[in-house]
Copies of this chain bind each other. A is one copy, B any other.
Amino acid sequence: MSARLRVTVWNENVHEKKNPIVAKIYPKGMHRCIADALMIDQPVAGVDDAGPRSATAPTTLEVRTATLHDPEHGLTDKILEETDVLTWWGHVAHGEVADAIIDRVIKRIWQGMGFIALHSSHYSKIFKRLMGTSCSLTWREAGEKERLWACNPAHPIARGINRYFEIENSEMYGEPFAIPAPDEIVFISWFEGGDVFRSGCTWKRGNGKIFYFSPGHEMYPIFFNPSVQIVLRNAVRWAAPDPERWIDSCPQIPISEACEPLEQKGPRMHEEGEEGYR
C-alpha cells in the first residue's frame, strides 16, 4: 500500500491575466505549471538492489489548484482539511488575501499542514506571520544567471540535484534576507551580478514544516526548469505532515485533575472551568 499526499497549489494568478509576457509563459497560470510538475513520476533515488533502504515508501500525489479569485480564495475549511501540503505563490496581491483566510491557513499549518512559500511569497502575509521578521531582501531584475548550491546534497529536498543547478535567466534575490535563523539551509544561490542568497530554507511552526524556495520570477519560465521541478517534488514530500494532528488550545487544568494531590492555596482570578483571557 502506498501512502498518498494531497497537495493544493495556490497562485494569486494576477500577472498571468494582466501582463502579456507572463500570460505567454504561463497560459494556464503558474499554478497549472506547478501542479503538472508535481505530478511527474518522482525519480526513484537511493534505491539499491535490495529495494528502498528507508522507511519512506512510494507516495501517490493528489494535486489540486486554487487561486485568489476563487470563492474563499479556493481555501475553504473543507479543502484545507483535505490538504497535506500547500504551495503558495503571491506577489502583487498580497494585500488582497483576506485575513480570515490567512488565519485559517495558519491554523492548519500549526496542526501539521506543510507550507511551501515560493519566490515573492517572502512578502506574503502568511510567510511574514510565520517568521515574525520583516522578510526583506534585495533584488534586481536583470535576467542574470543564478546557480543554486546544495548545502547538503543528501537533504531530502535536494535529492536528485548533484551539487548545484542553474537557472539561465533569473531575478536576483540577495542578502541581507531578514529571516529568523533557518533550521536548515538547503540551497544558497550564486548570482552572475555578484550577489548571494539563502534560496532554500526550512523552519517548523507548530507541527507544520515550512520551506521557502526563492526561484520563480514570473517574467521567465522558471517553473519549467527541470531542476526547479525536482526540488518542488522533493519539497512537498519533505513537508508531509505526520498522521497525528494536535489541536492546541489553552486549557485550564482543574485542581482536582492535577497529577499530584493539590489544594487551592490562594485567591484566584478565574473560576474553575473558566476560559483564560486572550
Contact = CB atoms under 8 A, between A and B. Distances in A.
A151 B163 CA distance: 23
B46 A243 contact: yes
A275 to B, nearest CB: 10
Contact of A164 (B147, B188, B259): B259
A156 interface: yes
Interface string A118-131: 00100100000111
Secondary structure of the A contact surface, majority rule: loop
Contacts of A195: 149, 190, 253, 258-259
B198 A277 contact: no
Contacts of A205: 132-133, 180
A203 interface: yes
Contact of A53 (B15, B84, B138, B192): B84
A79 interface: no
A278 interface: yes
Interface of A: 1-6, 15, 19, 21, 45-47, 51-59, 84, 91-92, 94-95, 107, 110-112, 120, 123, 129-134, 136-144, 147, 149-156, 159, 163-164, 169, 172, 174-178, 180-185, 188-196, 198, 203-207, 217-220, 237, 240-246, 248-255, 258-260, 262-270, 276-278
A207 B152 contact: yes
Contact of A269 (B51, B176, B218, B251): B218
7 nearest A-B residue pairs (beta carbon):
A46-B243, A194-B259, A143-B266, A143-B265, A154-B246, A193-B258, A57-B57
A181 B183 contact: yes
A179 to B, nearest CB: 9
A242 B54 contact: yes
A204 B188 contact: no
Given A46-B244, A139-B251, A219-B267, 11 more contacts: A1-B51, A46-B243, A53-B243, A129-B132, A142-B255, A142-B262, A142-B264, A150-B176, A154-B244, A169-B266, A188-B196
